[in-house]
Structure 1
Amino acid sequence: MKMNSSNIMFLTIMTMSVVMSMTSNNFLTTWTSMEINLISFLPLMKKSNKMNEQSMKYLIIQSVASSIMMTSMIMNSIINHPINESIMMMTGVLMKVGMMPFHLWLPMTMQMMSWTVCKMMMTMQKIIPTIMATQMTSLKLMMMPMAVSMMMGPVVGMKQTSMKKMMAYSSITNSPIMIICLKLSKNQFILFFTIYSVINILMINLMKNKNINFMSQLNNQTKMTKMSMLVSAMSMSGMPPTTGFLIKWMVMKSSMELSTIIPMMMIGSSLISTFMYLNMIIPSLTKSQKNKTEMMNQKESTMVLIINLLGIPLVTLTNLN
């Protein structure tokens, strides 16, 4: 995606809408910022993949979800029922976030996007729906969809051969953890989201620069690229001693006071996700090397390894404190 004046303008509007939603104190302002964010994201999406069909699908799904949320707000104000106990509001939020059972649009849409738009979809576009989920729905009501998303996301992702679809199911798996983290502490959410975004952006940049769109294309990559992909995947799944383990361990430690079910779900989800990523990368590591330029252009792969292995000193410093 070229950074011309129009793209810079839309990115600026997106950023401002996210800041507006984070600083708002009522539903109408948050809902308005969410719609501004949608309108500014659609031109970037259309310019990137040049496909009107996917842009229209995304617009229709997001518009339906927004309509459900607004209808729920009006109905609950009329009947004087608590909004955080509304199933209709929860349905709209789940559609916005892309969590199960309203998740099918996310892998199909990301499959047709460019890697640049996928980065925005997995990072910036998740902030406002996560805020809406924590403000407008109760944790007790969201427990079942969150459990299904954390457990079934990696299970369904095992069957995929497209890297973009696997990243989409990884996003579905991590969305409930973001909601739990924001429910517990805003500072923890900022730290979790920052590290999560860095890991995702590094992994997506690696796949974009190496032109990796399907699992079979990993066979022709260098050993350094394969190891970088493996460590990044382990970090995303939350296995020690990676950086991703540090943030998930932080959320599990805080959620122990809230419920014992949440840490158990997170541990089970991490184990299944690890199996999914190992199933993706290990076969390519055992195959013969076809790429002869092993020592060329390894700077990016080295940076990915260093950042994802920062969990070792960070965990040590945390224990010392």
Structure 2
Amino acid sequence: MFNNSSKIMFISILMMGTMISISANSWLSAWMGLEINLLAFIPLMSDNKLMSTESSLKYFLTQALASSVLLFAVILYLLNSNKMNSNFIMEMMIFSSLLLKSGSAPFHFWFPNVMEGLSWINTLILMTWQKIAPLMLISYIIFKPLMLMSTLLSALIGALGGMNQTSLRKLMAYSSINHLGWMLMAMYNSNSQWMMYFLMYSFLTFMMIYMFNAFKVSHINQLFNLFFHSKTMKFFLFFNLLSLGGLPPFLGFFPKWLVIQSLTFNKQMFLLSFMVLTALITLFFYMRLSYSAFMLNNYENNWMHNSSFKSNYMNIFLTLSFFSSLGLFLISSLYFML
């Protein structure tokens, strides 16, 4: 991707658009940053394949709809800034358009379909970088009723949507929707908490997508046949999946731990129970994958033993996996000491 000078230019513009949005001091300049970001991402998405062209069109239409609603709401907000009732409606419109941009439920309908047609590098950008600007703008205008509804729906839909998926891209998409629910809940409590969650989520997502891209896998059954020659690699692969799901001994549990702790302190027991329940559902389908890979599908072919995999990919993957699997102890001790 990075040998192409035009793609480097578009990535630079993409980053600049996000920076404009998060550092804007008015809604109009934030909208302008979002538009620059959108128009730079479209050429990166379309790489002359039918599926990616379809995905880029779907992405463009949904984002253009969200941008037009945002601009409309911002202009009305500026015109009617003295009227109390209209402010409520305008805030709801602005908040809804930002939820649509980030792919949160109940405005998540476009996200798995767009993900399905993209390359792994583009899915990584869509799941991490493209969420920064909308989430940062959401944190400026927390509209509590809609935020709570979106949090609960994102957690539930992300958990249930991944149950019957065989495509890894759709699985990652529903996992992202579930994590968005947790991020919104963290944002509801404090700004620093959701940023910590987002950093951890981005690291774990990067690691999984790095591996999927290196070995060109797109479906679950391909994971079972991967790494016959190395049990260590296979264990680390599924440890990372469980870490992304938030299983306690792994790094992915740390941000969820912070959210659970703050919900407990605030005595929000219903929200806490609901979020933990949806996290357990996501863990169920990750555990089901891991169980099948280790117990049911653990046959080996002799000719696979001497196969030469890309060793440089493996070294990087093992290093990152080490942090994912054992980083919880280090990060938690550092966090609570500070």
Could you tell me the TM-score, scaled by structure 1's length? 0.91
**Partner AA of 1:314 in structure 2:** I
Change (3 A) 1:121 1:95: same
Query: Is structure 2 residue 112 aligned with structure 1 residue 107?
Result: yes
Residues 232-241 or 128-137, more deviating: 128-137
Change (3 A) 1:132 1:83: farther
The answer to whether the Cα contact below 8 Å between 1:11 and 1:40 also exists between their aligned partners in 2 is yes
Secondary structure of the structure 1 residue equivalent to 2:198: helix
Q: How do 1:239-258 and structure 2 match up within 5 A?
A: 239-258=247-266
The answer to whether the Cα contact below 8 Å between 1:68 and 1:88 also exists between their aligned partners in 2 is yes
- Which structure is larger by alpha-carbon Rg, 1 or 2? 2
2:163 to 149, 158, 161: 158
The answer to whether the Cα contact below 8 Å between 1:119 and 1:201 also exists between their aligned partners in 2 is yes
Q: State the Cα distance separating 1:111 from its structure 2 match.
A: 0.6
- Report the counterpart of residue 305 of structure 1 in structure 2: 321
- Report the counterpart of residue 36 of structure 1 in structure 2: 36
Q: Deviations over 1:62-87 (max 9, x none)?
A: 00111122222334444533257744
- Report the counterpart of residue 147 of structure 2 in structure 1: 142
**Partner AA of 2:160 in structure 1:** V
- Report the counterpart of residue 53 of structure 1 in structure 2: 54
C-alpha separation in 1, matches of 2:57 and 2:246:
35
Q: Indicate the percent of aligned positions where both proteins have the same amino acid.
A: 29
Q: State the Cα distance separating 1:183 from its structure 2 match.
A: 4.3
Q: How do 1:191-210 and structure 2 match up within 5 A?
A: 191-210=196-215
Residues 88-97 or 4-13, more deviating: 88-97
- Report the counterpart of residue 224 of structure 1 in structure 2: 232
> Matched residue pairs, number?
321
Secondary structure of the structure 1 residue equivalent to 2:252: helix
The answer to whether the Cα contact below 8 Å between 1:48 and 1:113 also exists between their aligned partners in 2 is no
Give RMSD over aligned pairs. Answer: 2.4
Q: Deviations over 1:176-215 (max 9, x none)?
A: 2223334444433333222211111111011111222101
Query: Is structure 2 residue 139 aligned with structure 1 residue 130?
Result: no
Residues 291-300 or 152-161, more deviating: 291-300
- Report the counterpart of residue 63 of structure 2 in structure 1: 62
Query: Is structure 2 residue 245 aligned with structure 1 residue 237?
Result: yes
Change (3 A) 1:48 1:275: farther
Q: State the Cα distance separating 1:314 from its structure 2 match.
A: 2.4
1:91 to 69, 93, 96: 96
C-alpha separation in 2, matches of 1:98 and 1:301:
28
C-alpha separation in 2, matches of 1:311 and 1:132:
30
Secondary structure of the structure 2 residue equivalent to 1:102: coil
C-alpha separation in 2, matches of 1:151 and 1:101:
10
1:278 to 272, 283, 287: 287
Residues 163-172 or 134-143, more deviating: 134-143
Change (3 A) 1:23 1:121: same
Q: Deviations over 1:153-195 (max 9, x none)?
A: 1211011000000000011111122233344444333332222
- Report the counterpart of residue 289 of structure 1 in structure 2: 300
- In structure 2, runs of 5+ residues without a counterpart are none
The answer to whether the Cα contact below 8 Å between 2:155 and 2:275 also exists between their aligned partners in 1 is yes
C-alpha separation in 2, matches of 1:108 and 1:89:
24
**Partner AA of 1:61 in structure 2:** T
- Report the counterpart of residue 27 of structure 2 in structure 1: 27
Q: State the Cα distance separating 1:263 from its structure 2 match.
A: 3.0
